[in-house]
Amino acid sequence: MQILICVKQVPDDSIEIRLDNKTKMPNLNGVSMVANAFDTYALEMAVRFMEANGGNVSVLNVGAEDSTNTLKNCLAVGAKEAYFVQDDSFVNLDALGAADALANAIRKIENDKGQKFDLILCGLESTDEITGQVGAMLAEKLETGFVSRAIAFNVKDGDLQVNQETEEGYNVVSVISPAVVTVSKPEYDPRYPTIKTKMASRKAVIPTFSAAEIGEVKQAIVRLVEYVEPPKREAGIKIQEKDAVLAVSAAIEQMKKDKAI
């Protein structure tokens, strides 16, 4: 199976990001750019499938910023090929524009290779914008089937089957290939690179295109007007009794007074 993972480069989400007081923009000083966590789950899922069944795993990024490092890190944890479409005109892409650019890039890669992808994976959502829209929109642009919230996939009797996370467990969804599938957190974590795979990925040559080479950039219809600070909830009353019994009775009294119980 030929699998492609669309990877977004985002600020490391283990660091809390706040607004810069002066610029009113997210303060990304000292925050490293990494592959979006959900995209790394998708990559691990695909690489495991490839190791068990053969085939090929590729990764693709479209963006305005240099993402060579992020893509090389993907190569170091099992992807065989990486593609990059970098263009300054991608700075203000909305989700529809991103889906368009990805669809154009996918068609270009397929044409160049003379081979179609059977499965295209996207992370469920990105940890920066958290819109969770691009995967579903990409399926529409490519006119393929779509399944959201995958926690596993397999091929059974020649059919692509996806386990789709639900409130109570999962649905087994049979989908016509090629399909776009968004990936939620599976039961396992993504692997780490080894020194050997890191060294090898550093030497990799990543085919890079401009927006003009893949298609046309559509004007964003969803526009960010400004960033604002969330309203602060005021910290309320603090009870610091050493004795638990006294602490509880003070708490109950306060809750009654505030009509919380």
Partner 1 sequence: MKALLYIETSGDKVLGGSVELISAVKAIDAEGTALVIGNKVAAGTVASFGIPVIYTDSVATDNDTLTEVLFEIVKGENPDMLLFANTALSKDVAPRIAARMNFGCVSDVIGMSKNDGKVMYTRPAYGGTIFERIEVEGASVVTVRGGSFSKPEAAANAEITEKNVQIPANAIKAKIVDVVKEISESVNLEEAQVIVAGGRGMGSAENFELVKELARVLGGVVGATRPPIEDGWISRAHQVGQSGKVVAPKLYIACGISGATQHTSGISGSDYIVAINKDEDAPIFEIANLAIVGDVTEILKGMIEEMKKVKAE
Restricting to residues 190-229, which ones interact with partner 1 according to CB under 8 A?
221-229
Position 52 contacts partner 1 (CB under 8 A) = no
How is the beta sheet containing 208-209 ordered, strand by strand?
159-165, 145-156, 179-183, 119-123, 2-6, 56-63, 81-86, 208-209
Position 85 contacts partner 1 (CB under 8 A) = no
Task: Choose, by CB under 8 A, the member of 174, 188, 212, 216 that binds partner 1.
Answer: 174
CA distance 46 to 5: 8
Of residues 155 and 204, the one with the C-beta less far from partner 1: 155
Position 42 contacts partner 1 (CB under 8 A) = no
Of residues 196 and 259, the one with the C-beta less far from partner 1: 259
Stretch that binds partner 1, among 54-62, 107-115, 142-150, 202-210 (CB under 8 A): 142-150
CB pairs under 8 A, 24+ apart, for 194-197? 194/76, 197/75, 197/76, 197/77
Task: Choose, by CB under 8 A, the member of 52, 195, 205, 237 that binds partner 1.
Answer: 237
Position 8 contacts partner 1 (CB under 8 A) = no
Position 167 contacts partner 1 (CB under 8 A) = yes
- b or e along 71-101 (b: 16 or more beta carbons within 10 Å of the residue's beta carbon)? bbbbbbbbbebbbbbbbeebeebbbbbbbbb
What is the nearest approach in angstroms of partner 1 to the Cβ of residue 139?
Answer: 7
Task: Choose, by CB under 8 A, the member of 26, 186, 193, 215 that binds partner 1.
Answer: 26
Position 118 contacts partner 1 (CB under 8 A) = no
Residue 80 — left, alpha, or beta (φ > 0 → left; ψ -120 to 50 → alpha)? Answer: alpha
CA distance 245 to 255: 15
Of residues 55 through 84, those in contact with partner 1 by CB under 8 A are none
Q: Record the tokens describing residue 4, joined without a space.
A: 């492609």
Stretch that binds partner 1, among 68-76, 93-101, 108-116, 196-204 (CB under 8 A): 93-101
Of residues 151 and 211, the one with the C-beta less far from partner 1: 151
* Cβ-contact 106, 142 below 8 angstroms: yes
Q: Record the tokens describing residue 204, joined without a space.
A: 């990799």
Position 255 contacts partner 1 (CB under 8 A) = yes
Task: Choose, by CB under 8 A, the member of 7, 74, 95, 101 that binds partner 1.
Answer: 95
Position 104 contacts partner 1 (CB under 8 A) = no
Task: Choose, by CB under 8 A, the member of 91, 172, 199, 212 that binds partner 1.
Answer: 172
Which amino acid does the sequence have at 249?
S
* Cβ-contact 103, 142 below 8 angstroms: yes
